Amino acid sequence: MAEYNPFHNGHAYQLDQAQKRADADVTVVVMSGNWMQRGEPALLDKWQRTKLALSAGVDLVIELPFQFAVQPADLFAKGAVLLLSQLGCTSLAFGAEHPQLNFAKLVANQPAHAASHFKRFDETYPTLFNDYLQLQTGLDLRASNDILGFSYVAANQQLKQPLEILPIKRQGSAHQETAIDTDATIASGAAIRQAIKNGQQSAVDQMVSPATATALREDQQVTWDDFWPYLRYQILSTSLADLHEIYQMSEGIEYRLKQAALTSPNFEQFLRDAKTKRFTYARLQRLCVYILLQVNRVELPTEVRYARVLGFNSVGQQHLSQLKKRSELPLISRVSDDWINGPYRLDYQAGLLRQMVSGIDQDRLRHAVIV
């Protein structure tokens, strides 16, 4: 499972280690599409990022459906693990700040019905959840990739045939570190995106492959600033009653969103004005994506209904051929109107939203990338 936003040297290291430890005959990556788990638009679109993944040695890239991609860690992980299992994978590799953590012990001690377990409103849900686990186990689960790792292990344990878990030590700066160490060759995605924003191209070149460096120079990039006018209009023109019906809108946060949209000149200021102790920035950003796409409170499907093929090489093509013979999972390489108006509707809308600001078709005319 990956986002590759963008693909950098840390990802290359993880990929190499995963292939060696699993003795992999085929490497499958389930990758988020045009929106990330924390509610951020992908800097490069899903097709650009697929090309970079394939050029780095990935054999097959499958899109993680929107219904899982822009979600809290537990639902994000559940979708990814279910999809990997149905794609015939036997090992699951992921980066972790502390790969030696006893993830199974943490999973065994998580509270039942966690969403209703924490009623305090002076801390975010992740903080309360992690405090509870630390009290029960003595283990600290605060690092971003460790939290995702915990979620992967929890989801994996729900499978009839669990995958082999391969946590890989995360290299370089912390996940949310926004400064680049010029003496290093690995930096966090957040630091690389900040350096791109600051125009520090030479520093970025040091942290990414030549292919990624070229893409970042030549290909179109998108940020929340591109969507801010659309988001602001949606919030201001939608009634509070209708905003309340948006997926995961709760605790009256729609009132703060309305007020912040009215007075904020840009998206960054909007987030600061809307922030509360209870809501993380990631949760606020995900809400913004749901508002843009008008995703309402109707529960999103929880089952994996298809696999959208974004790209493959000859090894990946052979694996796809085998899957078609033995799997009932629909493999989509090109979307039709039936899919756009049916199971793929949210993914198509998410791509169409990006297409509005980039002018680059995302789904209707696109075929899988072949290397």
Which residues are annotated binding-site positions for ATP?
Answer: 1-14, 95, 145, 170
User: Which residues belong to the annotated binding site?
Assistant: 1-14, 95, 145, 170
**Residue 51 buriedness (CB in 10 A; 0-12 / 13-18 / 19+):** buried
**Residue 275 buriedness (CB in 10 A; 0-12 / 13-18 / 19+):** middle
CA distance 204 to 343: 38
- Nearest CA to 76 out of 302, 280, 247 is that of 302
CA distance 329 to 104: 29
CA distance 355 to 154: 35
| Residue 361: CB atoms within 10 Å | 14
CA distance 116 to 121: 12
CA torsion sign for 93, 97, 99, 103 is negative
CA distance 79 to 284: 21
Contacts of 262 (CB under 8 A, 6+ apart): 236
**Polymer length of the chain:** 371
Reduce the DSSP state of residue 328 to 3 states and report it. Answer: coil
Contacts of 179 (CB under 8 A, 6+ apart): 173, 191, 194
- Nearest CA to 40 out of 354, 299, 294 is that of 354
| Residue 278: CB atoms within 10 Å | 17
The end-to-end CA distance of the chain, in Å, is: 20
